[in-house]
Amino acid sequence: MASPSIQRPSSSSTSHSQWSYDVFLSFRGEDTRKSFTDHLYSALIRNNIITFRDDEELPRGEEIAPELLKAIEESRIAIIVFSKTYAHSKWCLDELVKIMECKEEREQIVIPIFYNVDPSEVRKQTGICGEAFTRHEENADEERKEKIRKWRTAMEQAGNLAGHVAENRCFITISEDNTIDMHDLLMGKGIVDQECPNEPGERSRLWRHTDIYRVLKRNTGTEKIEGIFLDVDKSEQIQYTCKAFERMNRLRLLAVSHNRIQLPEDFVFSSNDLTCLS
């Protein structure tokens, strides 16, 4: 088995002791490895999201490798890239079953991406997904039929989850002035939001002005925050107190555009490894 791609920043953003990775990527290599999944993986890496991606491109055996099962169990979030031939892969389907088990048993967050495939085809196993299952069922014995039933159940469950529909490179757009914009998921924002949907002070990184304003004005920041990226170009000059930052002892990066944030002259950060950019 080839070595998997794993990105580990110098200070892990994983706060829960049971998690070794922030994200496990499940995908069909021949469909997306050198296109969509590669862009997604690279973007997660740039945003210091610890990501497990299997780099195996050789023919695989009948059973999923124990190392992959362990990586799935130890991932806080699983991203499933459903592509045209995802359901043709027994290996991918075994990954999917394990992911859905971890969702129920370990409260793993599951985010499906439907890449050039309709979510209803995944949910109902019709179209190209249906064709894949027809092939799986050919000459299947009772043991294989039971496995196929588990595959179908997992496909239906995943197809019913809220996810993202992607076609070609719609997650990456280029404006008229040649500025490249990436979908929030590629920037890792969607992943971070899932860490604590209702309380931004419990997330590892903050991007949105409304979330940052809320956390700093209400003093709800916690030790889980490692990065704050604040663009206040269109905002009034903002003043904050030392108390707003006092629990952020793992804060590593404070990036403020246009230098419109004011801190007291005697301001002291609780983090010893903080880098400030403006």
Catalytic sites, residue numbers = 95
Q: Is 80 helix (H, G, I), strand (E, B) or coil?
A: strand
3-state secondary structure 31-47: HHCCCHHHHHHHHHHHC
Helix axes 127-137, 142-159, angle to 10 degrees: 160
Token representation of residue 162: 């809220």
Distance between CA atoms of residues 195 and 76, nearest Å? 9
> Rounded to whole angstroms, what are the CA distances from 220 to 6, 47, 57?
32, 23, 45
Residue 25's Cβ-side half-sphere holds a number of Cα atoms within 13 Å equal to 30
Distance between CA atoms of residues 91 and 124, nearest Å? 20
Largest Cα–Cα separation, the chain = 76
Which position has the token pair 């070595």?
3
Cβ atoms 225, 216 nearer than 8 A: no
Helix axes 142-159, 90-105, angle to 10 degrees: 60
Residue closest to 252 by CA, chosen among 12, 20, 77: 12
Distance between CA atoms of residues 51 and 99, nearest Å? 15
